[in-house]
Amino acid sequence: MKALTLIFVFINLLFASDNISNSNFKKSKIQTYKANFTQTVTNPSNKIIEYTGKIYIKQPKKMLWQYKDPIIKDVYMNNTIVIINEPELEQAIFTNLTDEINLIELLNNPDKINDKYKLTFKNRQLLQIQYQDEMENNIKISFTKIKLNEKISDQIFQFVSPLGYDIIRK
């Protein structure tokens, strides 16, 4: 969950780029972001697992991660509400993002991100995020086929629970 929170913050930084004094950013605001992603997790024993899927983001504060391989899973984020849809388990987990990260502080001091997290941008596009999680796993999320400011329907961010699903609230 902390990783999702961090990614949500990074994406918010991308969308709030008007507030960041960085030469990589232009003055026009990004309203939507679509991309394919590959998430590579390397544990301390050097075992690697790779996830692939798509990400959709729309201002204000809507995000959907669609994991396709090796498992199917959807992670919906709408403001501070997170819903993790696990079709193979026929369950959905509802939870809230924690406020461990102060977005305003990061916006005012973007250099703090680079202490633990490495972000790679090209032409204002977020290409990669790298960091080490609390379990000492090395995480690398790479984005390809990036589309900025293309229309994304609000309906894609709405989770509809299938009949018979277990609903878990945390």
Per-residue confidence (pLDDT) for residue 137, from 0 to 100: 94
The stretch 88-114 carries a mean pLDDT of 64
Task: Give the count of beta carbons closer than 10 Å to the beta carbon of residue 158.
Answer: 12
- Does residue 166 sit within a domain? no
Q: How far out from the chain centre does Cα 134 lie?
A: 17
For 86-100, the pLDDT digits (tens) are: 999 999 999 987 643
Q: What does the mean pLDDT of the chain come to?
A: 80
- Does residue 125 sit within a domain? yes
- Does residue 122 sit within a domain? yes
Name the token pair of 102: 């102060």
CA distance 28 to 46: 41
Question: Domain tally for the chain?
Answer: 1
What is the sign, positive or negative, of the torsion defined by CA atoms of 154, 91, 136, 37?
negative
The stretch 147-167 carries a mean pLDDT of 94
CA distance 41 to 132: 9
What is this structure's pTM?
0.78
- Does residue 8 sit within a domain? yes
Domain span at 88: 2-154
Using the 8-state DSSP alphabet, how is residue 94 labeled? E
CATH code of the domain containing 138: 2.50.20.10
pLDDT at 5 over 60: no
